[in-house]
Structure formats: C-alpha cells, structure tokens
Structure 1
Amino acid sequence: MSSETQPRAGHARTTRQQRIVDHVLANGSASAAELVDLTGVSLMTVHRDVDELVRRGLVRKYRGGVSAQPTSVFEAHSEYRRAVRRSEKAMIAEAALAMVEPGSSIMVDDSSTALTLVERLHEVGPLTVVTNYLPAIALLKDMPEVRLIALGGDYSRTHDSFGGIGCVEAVAAMSVDATFVSTSSMTGSMTYHQEQEIVMVKRAMLDVAARRVLLMDSGKAPRRALHQLRPLSAFDDLVVDPGVPEDLLLEMREHTRVTLAGVSK
C-alpha cells in the first residue's frame, strides 16, 4: 500500500466508525447486519470497527449487536444520555434552578440532568460553580457572572468527564453551599450507579456540600445498578418529573423532601 493510499484508508475507517457511533447513539442499539447495510463493508470489518469503538468506550458490544443503552453493569455514553428524556430533564432543571441562590457556590457532577441545570445558570446571577464535566465546563466558561472551578483527574471518554483519585482529592479540598447530582438508577430508598469510580466521585461531591440535591428523571426509577451510591435519606432534596409512580413517590417522601417538577404548588 502506497503512502498516499494509507491516509485515504485511515480517513475512510474514521468516517465509517463515526457513522456507526452516530447510528447507535441515535437509535440506542443496532445489529451487526444493520451496521453492514449502513456502512457497505463486510461483517468482519464491522466487527473490527466495533471492537475499536468498544475499546474507546463509545459503545458496548453484546451478542449479535452493539448498544449505547445502560444496563445494571454498564453506564450509557455521555452523548447518548444527553439525547434522551430531554423534556423531563428540562422540567427538573426548572425546579432545581429555584434552589440555586445568587452569590452561592455549587458543585455539579457529570450527569446529563445536571448539565440541563447548568444551561440555565446564567439566569441566576453571580455564582461559583465547581464541576468535573467537560460539556458543563464548555458552557460555564462563557458565562460572565460565573466563577468556574474545573476539577481535573483521569479523563473518561465514556463519561466525557474527569475522575479517579486526583478528582476525588480535588473535590475533598472544596466546601460548597450545594451539590447537584444525578445517578443512573434508584429505588424508593436507595441510589445506585454501575461504576465504582463514578460512585467515589459522587460520594465525595456530596460530602463537601451543605445541601445535597438529587436530580432524577422517571426513567431511572425503580431500577437498580451494581453499586449502591447513598441512601435517599442522605439527600436534602430530590427533584423528579411527574412520570414517577405515585406509590414510589410516597416511599421517597418517607426519606427526603421531594419536589415534583412541572407541577404547580
């Protein structure tokens, strides 16, 4: 293969793999046969592409196909999470915004729900905002009344955020008025996440806050995941959308203060 042919082949592979990622993120999952039709290459080439994308943390492979959807063991990719349940997250962000005091310091995690709140923070006024989430950093850096403190550490492509020991230690050195977090699943009394590294960072964020606010859309309950994060009673507030079943809401209210987003008081 000539030196001129090699860059063309590399470009074609990159373009093909991006088409696969875009398709899986848009649809949640895809079969191997579907990806062959999409890309026009052989099944063997599709498998090689998918293996590379799995190694990079962009998709998850299962027997006969590829998925971006979360399971009890694997969290979904950040881009996929940002694309789903947008209306519910918008309602939750509206309710959570009322809990942000001008002049205060807040911390937000690497959840797509907290990112929806970040998109509204320019409406509050002077704030100090601490986060490890790269999409949130990109938004906050252009808000003139926000003092941004970015948390570093090990970068995760799946979560598009920073974590690991460096991040946990950076969080532990802070003290904020409120922390706003979400997680992958919950029952009426417990919260969960699939990955212990993410659990470590979220726990650290909760430990340094005077007020702990949990933001959860109804698609996350009732569900469990591999690792327990914190009991619901460890949170001062829970904000959910109206899709949560009434019996589950009653159980949640036994453990914390619940705000039902989008519902007039």
Structure 2
Amino acid sequence: MTKPGTPAASARSQENRRQLIAEHVVEHGTLTVAWLAEATGVSVMTVHRDLDALARRGVLRRFRGGVSALPTSVFESNLEYRAGVRVAEKEAIAQAAAELVEPGMSVMLDDSTSALALAGLLVGRTPLTVLTNARRVLDVFAGCEEIRLIALGGEYSPTHDSFLGVACVEAVEAMSVDLVVVSTSAMNAAMTFHQEQDVVLVKRAMLASGARTALLMDHSKMPRTALHRLCPVTDFDHVVVDAGVDAALLAELREQSGVDVRVAEAPR
C-alpha cells in the first residue's frame, strides 16, 4: 500500500485531481479556473498548473480565465490522457488477464493502455511470441531474449502512438495467434464500440486472427456507446472488468452465452 505523503501517493493524488478536472470540463463544456479551484479544493495556481498539463496532453483547450473541452473523439483517443486515468483499475485488470497467458503462447496486443499494463506482466511468462501495433508495447519487450516480437506496421498515429491503416490491417490478417487482447472506448451488456473507424478496422482484424479473444474494460467505459460498433460482447471468449462495474450490468454480462466474465479486485 502506498503511504499518504509519499511521492507516489502525491503523484496519484495529482493524477486523480486532473482526471476529475477533465471530467468536469467534459461535462460542462466550458468552466472558469475559479470554479475548478472551488470544486477540487485546491488553489487557483494549482489549477493553472493542472490545466497546463492537461492542455499539453491534448485533453482540453485553455483560454484567458478558463478552459473548454475538446471534442470527445479527440481526448478519448489521446494516449497521454488514457494513460493517466483509472490506473489502479487497469493494473488490477492486467493482473487478472495475465492468468490467461501461458509460456509458449502467441499473444496479440492492441494499442490500448490496458494492453500496455498487461505487457509489463508478461515479461516473466516467457517464452512468448508477442505481436502488436503499439509502439510502447514494442518498447516493453525490446531486448527480451525469450520474447519473439513482431511489429504490426502501418501508418503511424501520433495520437495513439501506434500503427493503423490498411497496411496494419493486412499485416494482422496474415497472422494466426493463440490469444488476442484488446480494449475499446465503450460498451454495454450487448455491444462494444469505438469512436474511430480506423481503430475499429484494426481491432476487428485482430479479433478475427485469434483462437481466443479477451476484452479488458474498466468500469468508466460502461454502459456507454460510441459512434462505431466494434462487435457483440458474445464475440469474446473472456471479458475482464474491475470491481467498480455496476452489479446489474455485471449480471447482464454474465448472462451472455459462452463468455467468461472475470472481475479484477484492485489492490488495497
């Protein structure tokens, strides 16, 4: 457990506050610095620093005396934003998902931050063949002698820090793996969604290439929808969620025929 007052605890508290600020701005559209300072219980100067950091990540837009939200499709796709939210939940989900991986398997990981969290846990489950379109996942495994690492290339996306497009889809379609692990931006009890067509096409190709498939989702993504349908929940063999999922929704997920639903408990 991280003790209050330690650098790690302070960093987590800062990220939690910045996540809360982002959520307030998205909900209201436009807010003043004074309003955010009162809502978060910190000084105006602290809010200014938080807003500067969020603006650098591409989450929101600053203007004199306030801040406004960028379009949902922009900030939800931004890797820096995604990497800083629901960290404990993603770590717990990754721990549970790691149980699906055994030495000797071939595993395909998408460019989600949930898959990135899982990647760090797989170094000790070698030998493995790992395929991914995510640059940061490539960095995790680069230099690991017992990892056969295959990069799924395509057109580089700075927003996602990954490779997408027709070339990536074609590279994925040429593969057949034991397990595909993905996440996405939204789901309900029946369907999964993503706001970007290019990302949907790559994820669909990935899912079609796996003997088994796993979906990693934290509770903030459900029940929600986005512009494009990815695939039905029943297309997945495993769904791994955190303990914050609404009980009624969890029950609906568990009623889905053939889907193994696992609930990951966050460390205390």
Range into which the TM-score falls when normalised by the shorter chain: 0.7 to 0.9
Aligned equivalent of 1:209: 210
Structure 1's unaligned 5+ residue stretches are 1-22, 40-45
The CA deviation at 1:108 is 0.3
TM-score by length of 2: 0.75
Give, as a single letter, the amino acid of the residue that structure 2 aligns with 1:220. Answer: K
Matched with 2:128 is 127
Deviating above 2 A after TM superposition, structure 1's stretches of 4 or more consecutive aligned residues are 23-34, 57-68, 70-76
* 1:257 and 2:251 correspond: no
Partner of 1:238, secondary structure, is strand
Q: What percentage of aligned pairs have identical amino acids?
A: 49
Q: Which amino acid aligns with 2:211?
A: A
Residues 94 and 236 of structure 1: is their aligned pair in 2 closer, same or farther, counting only changes over 3 Å?
Answer: same
1:186: which partner in 2?
A: 187
The structure with the largest alpha-carbon Rg is: 1
Mapped pair 1:89 → 2:83 = no
2:230 is aligned to 229
Matches within 5 A, 1:88-167: 88-167=89-168
Q: Which residue of 2 aligns with 1:177?
A: 178
Q: Matched residue pairs, number?
A: 224
Question: Structure 2 CA distance, aligned partners of 1:155 and 1:32?
Answer: 34
Out of 242-251 and 72-81, give the one that drifted further.
72-81
2: CA distance between counterparts of 1:116 and 1:74? 20
- CA change 1:234–1:144 in 2 (3 A) is same
For residues 61 and 24 of structure 1, what CA distance do their matches in structure 2 show?
Answer: 14
Q: Which runs of 5+ in 2 are unaligned?
A: 1-16, 34-44
| Deviation for aligned residue 1:147 | 0.9
Cα distance change on mapping 1:182 and 1:203 into 2, 3 Å: same
Name 1:65's counterpart in structure 2: 67
In structure 1, C-alpha distance between the alignment counterparts of 2:101 and 2:204, rounded to whole Å:
20
Q: CA RMSD in A?
A: 2.8
Does the 8 Å CA contact 2:58/2:75 hold for their aligned counterparts?
no
Question: 1:18: which partner in 2?
Answer: none
Say whether the 8 Å CA contact 1:74–1:195 is kept in structure 2: no
Query: What residue is the counterpart of 1:28 in the other structure?
Result: 22
Residue 28 to residue 144, structure 1, CA distance change in 2 (3 Å):
farther
